[in-house]
């Protein structure tokens, strides 16, 4: 148990569906992240939230829409996805401060777009 | 620009023999370096980190890594492999300046044979 919980663990959705991924952290961290992990590619940072404010969007298509209602919860809303969006989506959290702190990851949501 | 290169995409060892997973980095500043492990169907877990203190860093599960600035390397080692060490291992570098992005390697898949 890493303190970061993601639901669902697995998701299969059609290209016309709308679904949401949920992430919750119990570590008291003030930063949360969405990553995409695809085979044979480096981990891709999608979004960063610091104190509930989005501070980074790495050219992610608008069919991915993040939401951070508070510093403990992070959502990724999905709509009209493409098959190439199939991947493992990882949520992470960290405590932003001077010096280095590591990110703690959830177990991920395995997304398959059909 | 920062980058990280994991020199082997796949390593196979026998149980009880040493493990060496190689990582080279490039960084314009004093880097922080991390190794993460990902077991099948699990999230990423921090193994160890280097943050400009001791160059030999000890992590969990008997792993350690040595920061060698002259060689720009941060190789991960373990004296004796266990079956439970079979997983994907990621080397990560982060700039110590204002840009705190994590740069991920492509990963090394470690197989442990009985």
The pLDDT, as a whole number, for residue A8 is: 96
Identify the pLDDT of residue A39.
85
CATH code of the domain covering residue B97: 2.60.40.10
Reference A13, options A72, A76, A67, A107; nearest CA is A76
Range of the domain at B19: 3-102
Give me the mean pLDDT over the A13-34 stretch: 93
The pLDDT of residue A65 is above 60: yes
Determine, yes or no, domain membership for B54.
yes
Answer whether residue B9 is part of any domain: yes
A46 touches chain B (CB under 8 A): no
- Note whether B22 contacts A: Cβ–Cβ < 8 A: no
3-state helix, strand, coil in chain A (%, to 5): 5, 55, 40
Q: Is A32 on the interface with B (CB under 8 A)?
A: no
Q: How many domains does chain B have?
A: 1
Cβ separation A102–B34 shorter than 8 A: yes
**Mutate which of A102, A106, A107 to disrupt the B interface (most B C-beta within 10 Å)?**
A102
Mean pLDDT of B20-32: 88
Residue A103 has what pLDDT? 86
Q: By percentage, how much of chain B surpasses pLDDT 70? A: 94
In this structure, is residue B45 part of a structural domain?
A: yes
Q: What is the DSSP letter of B30?
A: -
Q: Considering the domain boundaries, does residue B114 fall inside one?
A: no
Between B29 and A65, where is the model more confident?
A65
| B111, part of any domain | no
Which residues are B5's β-sheet partners?
A: B24
A81 CB neighbour count, 10 Å cutoff: 22
Lowest mean pLDDT among A47-61, B8-22, B31-45: A47-61
* Chain A residues near residue B94 by CB distance under 8 angstroms: 100
| A2 pLDDT above the threshold of 70 | no
- pLDDT for B100 equals 64
Residue B74 lies in a domain: yes
Whether residue B65 contacts residue B82, with contact meaning beta carbons closer than 8 Å, is answered with: no
The verdict on residue B110 lying in a domain is no
pLDDT at A50: 85
């Amino acid at each position: 148990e890493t303190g970061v919980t993601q639901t669902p663990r697995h998701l299969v959705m059609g290209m016309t569906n709308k679904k949401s991924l949920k992430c919750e952290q119990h570590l008291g961290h003030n930063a949360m992240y969405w990553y995409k992990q695809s085979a044979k590619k480096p981990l891709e940072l999608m979004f960063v939230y610091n104190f509930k404010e989005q501070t980074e969007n790495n050219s992610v298509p608008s069919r991915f829409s993040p939401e951070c209602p508070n510093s403990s919860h992070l959502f990724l809303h999905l709509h009209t996805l493409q098959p190439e969006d199939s991947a493992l989506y990882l949520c992470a959290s960290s405590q932003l401060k001077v010096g280095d702190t590591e990110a703690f990851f959830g177990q991920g949501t395995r997304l398959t777009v059909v | 620009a920062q980058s990280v290169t994991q020199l082997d995409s796949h390593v196979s060892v026998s149980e009880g023999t040493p493990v060496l997973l190689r990582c080279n980095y490039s960084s314009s500043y004093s880097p922080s370096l991390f190794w993460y492990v990902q077991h099948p169907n699990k999230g990423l877990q921090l193994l160890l980190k280097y943050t400009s203190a001791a160059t030999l860093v000890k992590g969990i599960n008997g792993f350690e890594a040595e920061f060698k600035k002259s060689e720009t390397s941060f190789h991960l080692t373990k004296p004796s492999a266990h079956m439970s060490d079979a997983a994907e291992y990621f080397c990560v570098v982060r700039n110590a300046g204002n840009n705190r992005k994590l740069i991920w390697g492509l990963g090394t898949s470690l197989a442990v044979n009985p």
